[in-house]
Structure formats: structure tokens, C-alpha cells
Amino acid sequence: MLESQLISHLLLTVIQLLLGLFVNAIIVVVHGTGLIKHRKMIPLEALVSCLAMSRICLELAIFYLNLAVFNLIDIRQFVGKFVILSFVNELGLWFATWLSVFYCIKIARIAHPLFLWLKLKISKLVPWLILGSLLHASSTCVFHSKQPWIFSEDLLGFSSQNATAESEDIATLRFALLFAELSLPSLIFLISALLLLVSLGRHTWQMRNTAAGPCPRVHIRSLLSIFAFLVLYLCHYLTVLLLFSQVFKLTSLRFLFCISLVGSCHSGHSIILILGNPKLKQNVEKLLLHRKCCQ
């Protein structure tokens, strides 16, 4: 890799890390402050805070991986820590999935007894969903740690060029296993997001046809936010699968681009969450205004 390209990507990596830490830390601090003041936290804020904390950990893990790719740390030391990266990534996927399910149940208009029952119970189920996600990700992490072939050195490109049929079979089995692990939350997310988009789109269309004025901006804004959430989630899911498929070499620009894309997807959605939440948006504006006044 050219030195100029290496320096440019390292600079972008630092910027991405700082941006990811900043936007997610704002979410955690704002909701954490509310918890301290009122000694309680509403389920949605708890779920979003858990999602933000998992993304902070993932941003740090991605930065650590970039340092290994840049040979600033021994890449072989990172192989043993790949289980942690997988744990944080899967935990973040589950939290994002439950956030989509929460929005779908609370907002979508579906006249089904089970759906109506979930509308009444979803807030009480959030703590159990968070706990279940932690237990599932932890059990998966323990399984990975006891099966060293899943995150072995050949995953990061250390296998010999004269790869045997056995190592190819292991690579195929590894990809199938990781694909199955990541596909379950992604499938749930996809169903809930599409249901929400269809319900909101239908409601927006009805309002446009029946109301005298134009369609309210809030509905269009909600549709765009959910659609952006869907696109960013799918980009992250497909990119992670692409990385696990070992299509790209570890030090190639395509591999580095994929790593950056994963972090950017999380930062992008956190920004969407802040802009779509008046409480978070107001605190960001206060912080930026205070910084401007201090200068």
C-alpha cells in the first residue's frame, strides 16, 4: 500500500473514531443524566443507551483492528481478541433489531390480536430483550472461544498459500456458522422495518388523499429516517459478511474500506437518532453553542 494512502486512511480512521465516540457518548450522557435526575429511565431510552454503548465499544474495536492492519501493533495479537469484536458486533445488531421492533410495534397500525397485545407489553419486555441479547451474545462468545478454528489466523489471511482441502472446508463451515448467527437478528430487523415502512407509507398516502393540505412533514421525515436506518443496517450486515468471506486481503484498500464502512454505518445511524430526538438534538445544540461562546 502506498504511504500516502496509508496516512490518508489512518487520518480518516481517527476522524471516524472521534465522531463515533462523540455522537454515541452524547446519547449515553444525556440519557444517563436523566436517569440520575429522575432515578428512572423509560424503556426506549434504555434500549438506545445500550445500543450507543455497544457502538462505542465497536468503534474502539474497529480502531484497534485498523492499527493492526497498519502494522502499528502485532496483527497476530488481534486474532485472540477477534472474539470480543464478534461479541460487540452481534450485541449491537441485536440492540438495533429490538429498536426497530419497538418502533414497529409502537407506530405501525396492524389490526392483529398479537400485535395489539405487544403494543401494551413491549415497554415491559424491553429489559428482558436487553438481558436476552446480552446472554445470547455472551453464550456465542463462549462458544467461539472454545472453538479456536472459528477465529483462527487464517481468518485474517495467515494461512499458507498451499491451502489444503481441509482448510477450505473449515473456511466454508466458519462462514456458514457466522452467516447463521448474523442472519437471525437481521431477518427480524428486516421484517419489522418493512412492516413499519409499509404501515407509515399507507398512512401517509391516506392522509394525502383525504386531508385538504399537503402531507405533514413529520410523516415524511419518519419514513426517511426508517429507510435510512434500514439501508445502514443492511450495509453493515452485508459488509461484515463480506469481511468474513475472506474475499479481500487484509492489507488491501477494499478491506480497509469495508472496515471504515462498518464504523460509518453506526455513526450515521446514531446521528439520525440524535436528529430525530428533540431531547438529544437540543442537548447537542447547547453543547455546540457553549463551545462557540467559550471560543
Domains, the chain, ranges and CATH?
A: 3-149+166-287 (1.20.1070.10)
Residues whose CB falls within 8 Å of the CB of residue 153, separated by 6 or more in sequence, listed in order: 76, 79, 159
Cα–Cα distance, 156 to 1 (Å, whole number): 17
Cα–Cα distance, 48 to 89 (Å, whole number): 15
Show the cell assigned to 18: 472521534
Answer yes or no: are the C-beta atoms of 182 and 90 closer than 8 Å: yes
Planar angle of CA 186, 188, 191, nearest 5 degrees = 105
Per the listing, cell 412492516 goes with: 195
Percent helix / strand / coil, the chain, rounded to 5 = 85, 0, 15
Q: How far is CA 9 from the centre of its chain?
A: 22
Amino acid residing at 159: S
The pTM for the full model equals 0.86
Answer yes or no: are the C-beta atoms of 263 and 271 closer than 8 Å: no
Q: Which residues of the chain have pLDDT under 50?
A: 158-166, 212-213
Q: How far is CA 194 from the centre of its chain?
A: 18
The reported pLDDT for the residue numbered 156 is 55
Show the cell assigned to 197: 415502512
The reported pLDDT for the residue numbered 166 is 45
